[in-house]
Structure 1
Amino acid sequence: MAVEVLSERSVRRSRCRMRKLTVLLVACMLAGATALSAMPFRRADANADGVVDIADAVKVLGVLFLADTTAPCRDALDANDDGKVDIADAITTLAFLFAHAAPPPPPFAACGIDPTSDDLSCDAFGPCDYGAGGCEDGMQASGSHYRICMPPAAAYNGRLIIWAHGFQDAGEPVEIPEEQMRFADFYLPDLLTGLGFAFATNSYSKTGLAVRQGVADILDLVEVFKELRGDPVKIYVTGASEGGLITTLLVEGWPAVFAGGLAACGPIGDWEYQMRYFGDARALFEYFFADLIPGDPFNPPPDLVASWASHYETVVRPAILDPARRGALDQLARTADLQVDPSDFLATAEVCVRDFLRYSVVNLLDAVATLGGFPFENLATRYAGSDDDDALNAAVVRVAADGAAVEEMRAHYSTTGALQRPLMTIHTLYDSQVPFEHHVLYEEKCRLQGSEETYHYGFAVDRFGHCNFTAEEVLVAFALMLVAGGDESLVESLADLLPSP
């Protein structure tokens, strides 16, 4: 009952906060702020020839004293980034070149957007002109595939949006999951570059459980982007499902890198709880439907893993939908706390069963290998909600967790709620894979850390399904992330895509 009360309070607070922040968002839109755009350039490269040398100091002197008007990027002349062009800029360049002084401020030596606000302009800068924009694919040192997409140079607002994708089944090829970047009528790279943002994503270096790899590969992706396209003014990270956890860990752990984040439908509350949710459901399924899946429920045979999709459709699904076995399904849903929609029990219960079995059969052995041991234990668990709880608890399969796996999960998969940058989280109330309880648990972590009212903004959506959001809901959360990150001026570019106030 305590969990139910906390969940209800969490939902109310989420909706109240969504309303308050939406009012703020609308106010920003009505204020008519102009979306920023700027030309990438290299500081101190005053003559825009691609290198910084003595000719650049001469160029500054020519502009100051010889009426040279052939400098289309005055930002590049401002070598010391004090907001004006004067003789100190020539001195800064010469000191760097010949007196071992500190290099000019960013953007230097790579191209980038001016991170400071001043009255200087940059109409063109040939060495950093990305032309019409477009996407570039490549390979990271870890084996992760990456993609970087740029808007036209003149439209670039200096902000990089990184997308952390969700879970991919173990054994699938290591590649960027294209289908996860398609949302409603939108394709994320096209949508974001069309709004002036740079976009980057990658595949991670492995499929299956890839949280640690995802964190490391995205941090490396930031460096790849800087090397190829220069330092952005700000970096935001967004992700869904497993990518939601990766996003949260990145925002918590690297506040100097990321200006904010948006984590959707992720297991951000407690990774061990997520393992228990899958493990309990698998153990209970074996009790109520013992004749459907061959082999050890916690050590699935390779031939079953390889043929799982067919086995589920031809054997498992018909059985759980069989009216004669409805009582067993009802008990499974109660004892395993399946996240069913009460208004559509049968259909949503089937989705819940399909989802937890997919993880338990297809992906369990990969998780064991990745974590360095078995991650689930129910030796002392007492299950309740069946027609005969004593019989259930006497017969249900029992397993023990490996200490190494538990230590690994606590060290590298657990969030803290300690935020120094804004994090938006969004979750459906009836998530078939990642229970809404994660939202509740994370909110409590943030409260204990003192960041709930300052940096964490959680939104609850009354709907069934994993990551089952409308385009408008995601866009509003994205816009609010920008507002919380101090980029109110960029919100107007989203106005035509957002629902009417």
Structure 2
Amino acid sequence: MKKIITFCLGLTFLILCACSSEYNKEASVTPIASDTLVADNTAESQENISEKEYKIDLGTILEGEIGGAKYKVHVPEKWNGKLLIYAHGLRQAYEPLEVTLETDSSDHIKMIKDGWIVAATSFRRNGFILGDAFEDIDNLREFIERKYGKSNIAIVQGYSMGGLIATRMAECGYDYSGFLAIGAVYDISVKYTPQKPILFLSNQDEVGFPLEYCGNVQGNYVKPAVWKVSRDGHCNVNGKEVSACIDALLNWIENKEIVYEKDITMENDLAQ
């Protein structure tokens, strides 16, 4: 009996930790390169803060590291106050930490031209993680807003495990405007209690989980939207489909309007 009680207490503690939101915690920021070096002489920290910054055709790229997680941020010439942070899918624990931000995809280019800041983080470690990912995403947002000012719209867009991360962040009450979960994987940690808008985007052979999730949301929680792409595969979606989802999620956030179920299949424009 003692062992059972100890196990239950331990499990409860882990669940509470995964849902804890430490918005006021100071992030340890140690960027990768050192084009600029700024001394921090506060009593709490004597660390140096540095960052790598360089220009590209559409704005500026920042690269660095926050609390052990690598980041990359694409800043447009003129920011419109909107922020999107990518949450990546599962990476094996033995793989090196890597941050991926595809600046040449059609959905990314559209957002930058529209004035969004688009960012990505590696997470501080690989493997099937949730709680650390929540904190790494939040640390990156804090870093960006400390540098450029508060966002008026902030969205987390996740793929595969990142879609689950986005879903759980919506359930845990993280203060983001909305979440786009692409090819979200199922895990027993889901509670069916989203407190913010979630738009699920899934291929036709994987749409079962988001439909089941939506059917289990009850009470005063926010009913998710489930959009489908009529092709098989895992996260097998294109930039036009993702852009349509971002536009719909933004309309949902700003105007409280959303189509809850839709086939969003679009063909790639080969001329692009």
The bucket for the TM-score relative to the shorter chain is 0.5 to 0.7
Q: Which residue of 1 aligns with 2:209?
A: 438
Query: Using the alignment, how far apart are the partners of 1:442 and 1:418 within structure 2?
Result: 10
SS in 2 for 1:485: helix
Relative distance call for 1:235 and 1:250 in structure 2 (3 A) is same
Q: Which residue of 2 aligns with 1:205?
A: 124
Higher relative contact order (CA 8 A, sep 6+): 1
Q: Percent identity, aligned pairs only?
A: 25
Alignment counterpart, residue 427 of structure 1, candidates 176, 190, 202: 202
SS in 2 for 1:173: coil
Alignment counterpart, residue 417 of structure 1, candidates 169, 192, 205: 192
Q: What count of residue pairs does the alignment treat as equivalent?
A: 201
Work out whether residues 163 and 184 of structure 2, in 8 Å CA contact, stay in contact via their aligned partners in 1.
Answer: yes
Give the letter for the 2:71 counterpart: Y
Q: Which residue of 2 aligns with 1:245?
A: 164
Give the letter for the 2:184 counterpart: G
Q: Deviations over 1:398-457 (max 9, x none)?
A: xxxxxxxxxxxxxxxx222222321100111224xxxx33223311222x3454xx5411
Q: Which residue of 2 aligns with 1:271?
A: 187
Q: Which residue of 1 aligns with 2:106?
A: 186
Work out whether residues 82 and 152 of structure 2, in 8 Å CA contact, stay in contact via their aligned partners in 1.
Answer: yes
Query: Using the alignment, how far apart are the partners of 1:424 and 1:474 within structure 2?
Result: 11
Alignment counterpart, residue 464 of structure 1, candidates 232, 246, 258: 232
Work out whether residues 422 and 485 of structure 1, in 8 Å CA contact, stay in contact via their aligned partners in 2.
Answer: yes
Higher helix share: 1
Alpha-carbon distance, 1:175 to partner: 1.2
Instruction: Calculate the TM-score normalised by the size of structure 2.
Output: 0.67
Alignment counterpart, residue 94 of structure 2, candidates 161, 164, 171: 171
Give the letter for the 2:210 counterpart: H
Give the letter for the 2:145 counterpart: K
Relative distance call for 1:193 and 1:161 in structure 2 (3 A) is same
Alpha-carbon distance, 1:182 to partner: 6.8
Alpha-carbon distance, 1:464 to partner: 1.1
Q: Deviations over 1:157-195 (max 9, x none)?
A: 1111111111222211111135xx378x5373x442222
Unaligned runs of 5+ in 1: 1-131, 273-413, 489-497
Work out whether residues 198 and 225 of structure 2, in 8 Å CA contact, stay in contact via their aligned partners in 1.
Answer: yes
Query: Using the alignment, how far apart are the partners of 1:187 and 1:482 within structure 2?
Result: 14
Equivalences for 1:373-452 in 2 at 5 Å?
Answer: 414-431=189-206, 436-446=207-217, 448-451=218-221
Q: Which residue of 1 aligns with 2:29?
A: none
Work out whether residues 417 and 449 of structure 1, in 8 Å CA contact, stay in contact via their aligned partners in 2.
Answer: no
SS in 2 for 1:426: strand
Relative distance call for 1:169 and 1:259 in structure 2 (3 A) is same
Q: Which residue of 1 aligns with 2:114?
A: 195
Higher strand share: 2
Query: Using the alignment, how far apart are the partners of 1:487 and 1:206 within structure 2?
Result: 38
Work out whether residues 214 and 223 of structure 2, in 8 Å CA contact, stay in contact via their aligned partners in 1.
Answer: no
Q: Deviations over 1:301-340 (max 9, x none)?
A: xxxxxxxxxxxxxxxxxxxxxxxxxxxxxxxxxxxxxxxx
Does 2:55 correspond to 1:139?
no
Relative distance call for 1:228 and 1:486 in structure 2 (3 A) is same
Work out whether residues 429 and 462 of structure 1, in 8 Å CA contact, stay in contact via their aligned partners in 2.
Answer: yes
Q: Which residue of 1 aligns with 2:243?
A: 475
Equivalences for 1:40-51 in 2 at 5 Å?
Answer: none
Relative distance call for 1:186 and 1:169 in structure 2 (3 A) is farther
Q: Which residue of 2 aligns with 1:261?
A: 179
Work out whether residues 416 and 445 of structure 1, in 8 Å CA contact, stay in contact via their aligned partners in 2.
Answer: no
SS in 2 for 1:226: helix
Alpha-carbon distance, 1:217 to partner: 0.6
Query: Using the alignment, how far apart are the partners of 2:255 and 2:74 within structure 1?
Result: 21
Work out whether residues 424 and 481 of structure 1, in 8 Å CA contact, stay in contact via their aligned partners in 2.
Answer: yes
Equivalences for 1:348-363 in 2 at 5 Å?
Answer: none
Q: What is the alpha-carbon root mean square deviation over aligned residues?
A: 2.4
